[in-house]
Amino acid sequence: MNYFVIGYYALLIGSSCVAAYFNKREAFLLLFTLTLASFVMGIVGGESTLWSVTLVAGAIGLAAGTAYAFREFLAIVLPREAGKAIRGAPLTASFGLFVVGTYTITALFAPVIAPFGEAEVIADAFAPADESMLLGADQLGRDMFSRVVFGVRNTVGLALVATLLAFLIGAIGGLVAAVRGGWFDQLLGRFADVVMSIPSLIFALLMLSIFGTNLVTLVLVVAVIYSPRVFRLTRAVAGNVVVMDYVEAARLRGERMWYLIRKEILPNSTAPLIAEFGLEFCFVFLLVAGLSFLGLGIQPPTADLGSMVRENATLISFGEITPLIPAAAIALLTVAVNFVVDWMLWRSTGLRE
């Protein structure tokens, strides 16, 4: 048994004792559970397994530290009320905000961040990483780092536009249906049921095979697929508001439909709709990346995270992690947005610990 193994177990046991002494119940349970699990993993997998656990724990610790520092930064620079709300956010939410902010900066300043163009061939196929190529080259000799940066810009931008269009169509339809009711409400509801009954990926593949794979068609198809989901939520939320007394009073005053929507219903439905926007963005983002992986999304030579996974998939057979980099970029943004959405839903429900 070497010094690393001795130090590893000593650190865990010592940290568990400190947590127990200061009556930190959750921290003690976490640390001591990790200690027991490490004993088993050390016996089964040896020292290499303990190194893996150490790296994972270090990555989690780094993420937690970054989230804490970013939360404190936002609490200082934001206005007082917003800063107070951010300071009360969990670390997962602040980590999600940090990741979303990083992706936003990457998308906006991609030409400045990327050292090469997204379609520029600068090396041999699958060239290893060096001082000019941080992540090596892809199957055509293009810089992988530059491709990932532009891929974030293109994939996130397209998903954001499609989500905005889907949300605009679905939200307006749901609000109008809630206010008017009757046959109009029934007609839109049945149309939404028909679209939602078709699996999203199959519907997208069918429409793109018929109408082509240009960006306009892709945005429209994705918006049509996900707008019924937004319609259903908006109709349900607005339906609970439209029966309130203040809405009936506005009707009796002779206010028109758009006044009721803008002044009475929409302000009281904002919180769940904002949370739904984040969830819809995740769904759209994954669908766009999946379509690109299948060859029907963003077309080459334009960089896209989904197509980059497909193009470099052969490297997995040789033990290279290059295809996992764009896949990790997809997963990281999806998890980060869900962290933020969970926090927003928690706040909108009015529940407090």
Residue linked to tokens 């349970």: 29
What average pLDDT does this structure show over 306-335?
84
Per CATH, which fold does 144-348 belong to? MetI-like fold (1.10.3720)
Return the structure tokens found at 191. 């149309």
Which of 327, 209, 229 is CA-nearest to residue 278?
229
Which pLDDT score, from 0 to 100, does residue 349 have?
A: 64
Instruction: Burial-class residue 303 by CB neighbours within 10 Å (0-12, 13-18, 19+).
Output: buried
* Displacement of CA 197 from its chain's centroid (Å): 25
- Cα–Cα distance measured from residue 226 to residue 170, given in angstroms and rounded to the nearest whole number: 8
Q: Is the pLDDT of residue 209 over 50?
A: yes
- Cα–Cα distance measured from residue 39 to residue 41, given in angstroms and rounded to the nearest whole number: 6
Q: How far is CA 206 from CA 49, 159, 222, 225, 296, in A?
A: 46, 19, 12, 12, 10
The Cβ-side half-sphere exposure at 229, using a 13 Å CA radius, reads 22
67 or 264: which leads in pLDDT: 67
pLDDT tens string 94-115:
999 999 999 999 999 989 998 8
- Sign for the CA dihedral angle at 33, 6, 58, 52 comes to negative
Average pLDDT, the chain: 85
How far from each other are the two terminal CA atoms of the chain, in whole angstroms?
A: 45
Which of 277, 167, 178 is CA-nearest to residue 222?
167
Return the structure tokens found at 243. 């029966």
The type of residue at 261 is: I
Which pLDDT score, from 0 to 100, does residue 277 have?
A: 87
Q: How far is CA 232 from CA 113, 126, 186, 201, 291, in A?
A: 40, 47, 12, 20, 25
pTM: 0.84
pLDDT tens string 130-147:
888 888 888 888 888 899
Which pLDDT score, from 0 to 100, does residue 249 have?
A: 81
**Considering the chain, what percentage of its residues have pLDDT values greater than 90?**
16
Collapsing DSSP to helix, strand or coil, 313 comes out as helix
pLDDT tens string 185-205:
888 888 888 888 888 888 888
- Cα–Cα distance measured from residue 10 to residue 30, given in angstroms and rounded to the nearest whole number: 16
Highest mean pLDDT among 2-11, 20-29, 259-268: 20-29
- Cα–Cα distance measured from residue 12 to residue 341, given in angstroms and rounded to the nearest whole number: 34
Residue linked to tokens 């269009």: 165
The type of residue at 338 is: N
Which pLDDT score, from 0 to 100, does residue 352 have?
A: 47
What ranges in the chain are assigned the alpha helix state H? 3-21, 25-45, 47-77, 80-87, 91-108, 110-113, 144-180, 182-196, 200-211, 215-242, 245-252, 257-259, 270-293, 305-311, 324-348
What average pLDDT does this structure show over 326-346?
89
Which pLDDT score, from 0 to 100, does residue 9 have?
A: 81
- Cβ within 8 Å of residue 347, ≥6 positions away: 85, 271
pLDDT tens string 164-176:
999 999 988 888 8
* Displacement of CA 240 from its chain's centroid (Å): 29
What average pLDDT does this structure show over 30-34?
83
- Cα–Cα distance measured from residue 291 to residue 297, given in angstroms and rounded to the nearest whole number: 5
> With bands split at pLDDT 50, 70 and 90, how would you rate the model's confidence at 14?
confident
In the chain, which segments carry CATH 1.10.3720.10? 144-348
Which pLDDT score, from 0 to 100, does residue 1 have?
A: 52
Which pLDDT score, from 0 to 100, does residue 94 have?
A: 92
The count of other CB atoms within 10 Å of the CB of residue 314 is: 13
DSSP state letters, 175-201: HHHHHH-HHHHHHHHHHHHHHHTS-HH
> With bands split at pLDDT 50, 70 and 90, how would you rate the model's confidence at 353?
very low
Collapsing DSSP to helix, strand or coil, 143 comes out as strand
72 or 7: which leads in pLDDT: 72
Cis peptide, bond prior to residue 301, ω within 30 of zero:
yes
